Amino acid sequence: MERPKQKQMNQNENETDAAINGHFDSRVKMPGWSAGGAAGDPSTVSSPSVMESWREERTRSLEDNEMSLPSIAAAYTTILRGLGEDPQRQGLLKTPWRAATAMQFFTKGYQEKIIDVLNDAIFDEDHDEMVIVKDIDMFSMCEHHLVPIFGRVHIGYLPNKRVLGLSKLARIVEIYSRRLQVQERLTKQIAVAITEALKPAGVGVVVEATHMCMVMRGVQKMNSKTVTSTMLGVFREDPKTRDEFLTLIRS
């Protein structure tokens, strides 16, 4: 990844798309298709720095977890006192450590890299029909309120001579969902990671989720669900392909 070039891209917001955890994309450009140009137009091919960004994502290590655990636990102790509780009473004695450990697990996606799970699971295969894995369970944390987001993810892609081990699609979901998130970004990150890893003809991702920040607080709408989608390549450009994907995930 060419970091000087990436930095320069970030500084000019009028000429580049927004950065999403290392992925520069508002409409990911892939070889052979474009948002407005003709298929095969060289100007629509993503730069190497964008297409390789999935290789450098880890921001936290296991060693970091061990070092930061006491400070996170101390922060929870402060929170308990601020709420009017006594951290020394029997039921709360170990709560700060439990909560700190749980929060590290809820955000363990920061210590994982896509390349670690995909390297040995990309296979050359002469298959050009749609591949779909739907109803993938997803648990995440709202970055605005630090409360859970949970739901299902549906993924489809149109292979371009390469396929991915099916369980790896679920692993990609796990890596990105186990972070502080907003659903819109999570949806796009999943789609971009698959695009960068496989170079498929197209990718579609749909996420249906319940946000506890809307259920437990605020408007308190118990039955509300949020649906987001990202369509790339032929899934975006060809209505028939998109409709086939949406029909199959609803069946």
**Residue 112 annotated in active site:** no
**Residue 183 annotated in active site:** yes
Q: Report the alpha-carbon distance of residue 51 to residue 69 in Å, rounded.
A: 34
**Residue 88 annotated in active site:** no
Residue 70: CB atoms within 10 Å:
12
Catalytic one of 6, 142, 189, 196: 142
**Residue 145 annotated in active site:** yes
Hey, what are 80's tokens?
Answer: 């308990």
Give the position of tokens 């975006």.
236
Q: Report the alpha-carbon distance of residue 236 to residue 30 in Å, rounded.
A: 12
**Residue 127 annotated in active site:** no
**Residue 90 annotated in active site:** no
Catalytic one of 127, 145, 208, 237: 145
Q: Report the alpha-carbon distance of residue 16 to residue 109 in Å, rounded.
A: 26
**Residue 244 annotated in active site:** no
Catalytic one of 52, 208, 213, 244: 213
Catalytic one of 2, 66, 125, 143: 143
176-to-73, 79, 113, 182, 233 alpha-carbon distances in Å: 24, 27, 10, 11, 21
Q: Which residues pair with 199 in a beta bridge?
A: none
Catalytic residues: 142-145, 183, 211, 213
